[in-house]
């Protein structure tokens, strides 16, 4: 045992074998993601409660968001999840060049998402829709209730965008490790576990998009 | 148990399904279905999330213990929602004598 231990690349001394190490890493990431599910869950709960109370105002406020930008960003994130999954695939088969290519593509798509988000935030600023900072609303629905929608909108998309920024940082580290040839078909857990985080952030957006952008879409008719 | 390598074809299929479901959710949202709008939108979102978890996050090919972790997260989320909503959404059902 001790001999194979010292020769297995990437195996930390406190694990029996690479498989046990991989399993422990995966479970550790999922334990973290559970706390993330409940962290975002609290905000989704706030959304549900206020939407139940201020239904009409929430629909009117949602109709003001541009679902085409939200939809485009949804597509961007889903494509980035595909490129992330393919990056993991190329790590598994040991193709370092393609692993790096798909990590870079994932990061470009993540940055694109943040760019569109920044554009949207800027227009909310121009339209005086930042809660607490001279918020103005002349459309349908009580202004105070619409302000609550925008408060939840900025809180949820803001925290989500923060997760994207953290994700870009993680991918930068993984890219540098990949460039230095640190991953082999036998050892690439960092790529896979970082991928779990990236996909989780995608899932949060999968729920945010219909709840925030599409809630009032039928009002456009 | 060695690591399962998911084929590229599976990834492309899941990706296609996610894009189609996104288009469907946008299309349905533009119809006025009353309270069914929310139900359809959430059902599609749950379906998309399930596909991502099972295939992109490899849970389908992971150990039983990973399944337990994932399910624990979802169960606690439901407890959070159910207990809070059972309070907020039922307020006013029963008149309170003191008022």
A160 near B CB under 8 A: no
Q: Is residue A14 part of a domain?
A: no
Report domain extents, chain B. 1-61, 63-94
Q: Which residues of A touch B2 (CB under 8 A)?
A: 19
> ipTM value of the model?
0.91
Q: What is the structure's pLDDT at A93?
A: 95
Q: What is the mean pLDDT of residues B8-28?
A: 96
Q: What is the structure's pLDDT at A201?
A: 97
Q: What is the structure's pLDDT at A220?
A: 64
Query: Quick one: closest CA in A to B57, which residue?
Result: A196
Query: Quick one: closest CA in B to A92, which residue?
Result: B5
pLDDT digit string, tens, across residues A158-190: 999 999 999 999 999 999 999 999 999 999 999
Query: Quick one: closest CA in B to A85, which residue?
Result: B56
Residue A6 pLDDT more than 70? no
Higher pLDDT, A136 or A3: A136
**Measured between CA atoms, how close is A20 to chain B, in angstroms?**
10
Q: What is the structure's pLDDT at B91?
A: 86
Q: How many other C-beta atoms lie within 10 A of the C-beta of residue A128? A: 12
Q: How many domains does chain A fold into?
A: 1
pLDDT digit string, tens, across residues A43-68: 999 999 999 999 899 999 999 999 99
Residue B59 pLDDT more than 80? yes
Answering whether pTM is above 0.90, one says: yes
CATH code for position A123:
1.20.120.80
B89 near A CB under 8 A: yes
Residue B1 pLDDT more than 50? no
- Domain boundaries, position A60: 25-220
Q: Is residue A13 part of a domain?
A: no
Check A218 against B29: CB less than 8 A apart.
yes
């Amino acid at each position: 045992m001790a001999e194979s231990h010292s020769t297995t690349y990437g195996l930390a001394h406190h694990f029996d074998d690479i498989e046990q190490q991989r399993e422990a890493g995966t479970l550790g990431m999922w334990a973290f993601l559970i706390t993330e599910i409940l962290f975002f869950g609290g905000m989704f709960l706030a959304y549900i409660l206020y939407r139940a109370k201020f239904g009409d105002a929430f629909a009117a406020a949602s109709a003001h968001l541009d679902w085409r930008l939200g939809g485009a960003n949804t597509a961007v994130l889903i494509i980035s999840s595909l490129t992330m999954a393919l990056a993991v695939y190329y790590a598994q088969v040991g193709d370092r060049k393609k692993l790096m290519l798909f990590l870079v593509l994932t990061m470009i798509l993540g940055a694109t998402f943040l760019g569109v988000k920044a554009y949207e935030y800027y227009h909310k600023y121009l339209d005086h829709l930042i809660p607490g900072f001279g918020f103005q609303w002349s459309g349908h629905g009580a202004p105070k209730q619409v302000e609550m929608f925008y408060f939840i909108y900025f809180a949820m998309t803001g925290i989500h965008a923060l997760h994207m920024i953290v994700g870009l940082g993680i991918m930068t580290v993984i890219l540098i490790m990949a460039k230095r040839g640190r991953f082999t078909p036998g050892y690439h857990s960092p790529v896979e576990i970082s991928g779990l985080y990236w996909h989780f952030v995608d899932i949060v957006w999968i729920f945010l998009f219909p709840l925030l952008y599409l809630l009032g879409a039928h009002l456009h008719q | 148990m060695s690591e399962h390598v998911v084929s590229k074809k599976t990834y492309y299929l899941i990706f296609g399904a996610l894009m189609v479901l996104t288009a469907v959710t946008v299309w349905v949202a533009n119809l006025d279905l009353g309270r069914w709008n929310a139900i359809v939108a959430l059902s599609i979102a749950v379906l998309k999330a399930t596909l991502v978890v099972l295939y992109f996050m490899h849970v389908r090919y992971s150990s039983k213990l990973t399944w337990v972790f994932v399910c624990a997260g979802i169960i606690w989320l439901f407890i959070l929602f159910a207990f809070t909503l059972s309070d907020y959404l039922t307020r006013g059902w029963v008149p309170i004598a003191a008022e």
